[in-house]
Every structure is written in structure tokens, then in C-alpha cells.
Structure 1
């Protein structure tokens, strides 16, 4: 993931959060930043983009696709 992609994905995830979740995420980021070097902090952010709270909503039906469950 390039830096611009990481920034873009972070901003999209940030936009999905409500004010309270943004505050919690920001506090977690501030707690992680001093103890991690640059690459570790980038890895920390990537993990958050793959997992809640920044990950896009996921519905299990997306795994099935267009198949009709009742026809099985």
C-alpha cells in the first residue's frame, strides 16, 4: 500500500466514524505514536484499516454473492 493509498484509506475510514469513535481512535493513535518508529506506526495504521473501527462495514452475504440460498 503506497503512502497516498494509506492516507486515502485512512480518511475514508475516519469519515465513517462518529465523533466518539474518532476521539477514541485519535487517543489510541497518540498513545501508539511515541512508542513506535515510523514503519511500526505505519503497520499499526494498516492493521486498523483492515480491522474495526476503520475497516469498511462487512456483511457476510457478500461472501455468497448472487447465489440464492433457498435454491440449494
Structure 2
């Protein structure tokens, strides 16, 4: 794997980990709400649409982009 791709994936993973440490989940993560900031030789991921964060137990509705929804959701699973 290319080192640039690895650095981007590491940064995204670190942000998701931080969100989970706060007891939250990101309900609608896809490529349109991940921004990559490049400054100097550093890369940093920013996850947008923070209004879609919630606790692990509070989601009763599904907010998603249809192309990114797993088939189990359409079949009544979770």
C-alpha cells in the first residue's frame, strides 16, 4: 500500500477512534464528509456533518446515502 494512502487511512481511523472514545458513533460516514487537510508534509482527516453524531443507544432512525447502505438495513436488520 502506498504510504500516502496509509497516512490518510491512519488519520481517518484516528478521528473515528476519538469519536468512539467520546461514546459517540458517526451514523453516515462516506467519502463526501471526510476532508483531507494537507499542510507541509502532514496530512490530517476532518470528519464533517457533526450533527449526525449520536450515542450508541439513541439511534432509532437511519440517516444515510442510499449508495452506502448495507443490504441488511433494507431487509429490516441493524
Structure with the bigger percentage of strand:
2
- TM-score, structure 2 length as denominator? 0.33
Greater Rg by CA: 1
Flag the structure with more relative contact order, 1 or 2, with Cα contacts below 8 A and sequence separation at least 6.
1
TM-score, normalised to structure 1, is 0.35
Whichever structure has more helix as a proportion of its residues is 1
